[in-house]
A and B are shown apart, each in its own frame.
Chain A
């Protein structure tokens, strides 16, 4: 049963997905700049300044989506690493390998934009408070994760080591989420809650969601391009095995 599932995935992923990836990339390319233009117009022109923070609140429209997606990417990588241990499916490692650099980029962007928001709001670029420190650790885990499969040449060992790193690093995710509640931090608590009422006005929520969509599409685009590269790399290795 497991073998059948694996074989089915192998066929589905490497041959048919490649064609689907091509179509999705073209689709994202065709709509991306329109959504980006709308998102930027809302974020920089149409949304109102905050009554306390003034125009610096606009940094939220790039900072928050970057942080959300960086955490989301890592959670996904950790989940696939656990599945990889159970089912031993090579495609999961390829997906993780393609996803990790995007996650690292988004984590760095969340930290840099957070720092640029911190200076006018808190009067400092950086403090070692719980939220900022846990995000810094997320960046470190991403770096170690990427280095593990860059340094280790033997693929089976690289898969194993990187999976361990991803799973260990996932302990940091609830710390990031609840750091503002567990400790007294400079960072504000979450304004948007999945369960319960959000404390953000719709005039700010709209640009935030639009910019989230922009970054989500960007992530999908980069992920698909990297995944396509990985497929070609494998196919190139096996080209003489006719």
Chain B
């Protein structure tokens, strides 16, 4: 049964190659996108930390985005 699943009557190479191409390229694209997102979050955090304490507190109060990134970075630490 396993041999039948792998060979698929001589068509296995085409079927498995199709699924492999989709899975591998989608995985690479996912990790690349995630890496870019993390890079931007990190850069945003650096900019946020550069701000004066008062300004940072105002921004954290006003912006849900800043608050979210700051909170998740604190959680990670």
B33/A225 in contact, CB under 8 A? yes
Within 8 A of B (CB), among A222-236: 222, 225-226, 228-229, 231-233, 235-236
A56/B11 in contact, CB under 8 A? yes
- Nearest chain-B residue to A60 (Cβ)? B18
User: B23 to nearest A CB, angstroms?
Assistant: 9
Confirm or deny: A116 has a beta carbon within 8 angstroms of a beta carbon on chain B.
yes
A54/B63 in contact, CB under 8 A? no
CB-CB < 8 A to B37: which residues of A? 225-226, 228-229, 232
CB-CB < 8 A to B5: which residues of A? 44-45
A229/B40 in contact, CB under 8 A? yes
How many residues of chain B get a CB closer than 8 Å to chain A's CBs? 36
For A17-43 the 0/1 string (1 means CB < 8 A from B) is 011001000000000000000001001
User: A111 to nearest B CB, angstroms?
Assistant: 11
Within 8 A of A (CB), among B28-43: 29-30, 33-34, 36-37, 40-41, 43
Given A15-B65, A55-B12, A242-B58: A117 touches B40 (CB 8 Å cut-off): no
Q: CB within 8 A of B44: which of A15, A117, A235?
A: A235
Confirm or deny: A131 has a beta carbon within 8 angstroms of a beta carbon on chain B.
no
B65/A218 in contact, CB under 8 A? no
User: A238 to nearest B CB, angstroms?
Assistant: 10
Given A63-B18, A113-B22, A116-B17: A242 touches B59 (CB 8 Å cut-off): yes
Q: How far is the CA of A45 from the CA of B47 in the complex (A)?
A: 51
CB-CB < 8 A to B25: which residues of A? 105, 108-109
CB-CB < 8 A to B9: which residues of A? 49, 54-55
User: B37 to nearest A CB, angstroms?
Assistant: 5
CB-CB < 8 A to A225: which residues of B? 33-34, 37
For B7-31 the 0/1 string (1 means CB < 8 A from A) is 0110110110111011001100110
Q: How far is the CA of A235 from the CA of B41 in the complex (A)?
A: 10
Offer 8 A-B interface pairs, CB within 8 angstroms, sorted by A: A15-B65, A55-B8, A58-B15, A119-B14, A221-B30, A233-B40, A235-B65, A242-B58
B residues contacting A by CB (< 8 A) are 5, 8-9, 11-12, 14-15, 17-19, 21-22, 25-26, 29-30, 33-34, 36-37, 40-41, 43-44, 47-48, 51, 55, 58-59, 63-66, 68-69
A-B contacts besides A16-B64, A59-B14, A231-B65, 17 pairs, CB < 8 Å: A18-B64, A49-B8, A55-B15, A56-B8, A105-B26, A109-B26, A112-B18, A116-B14, A120-B14, A222-B30, A226-B37, A229-B36, A232-B37, A233-B40, A235-B44, A236-B47, A242-B58
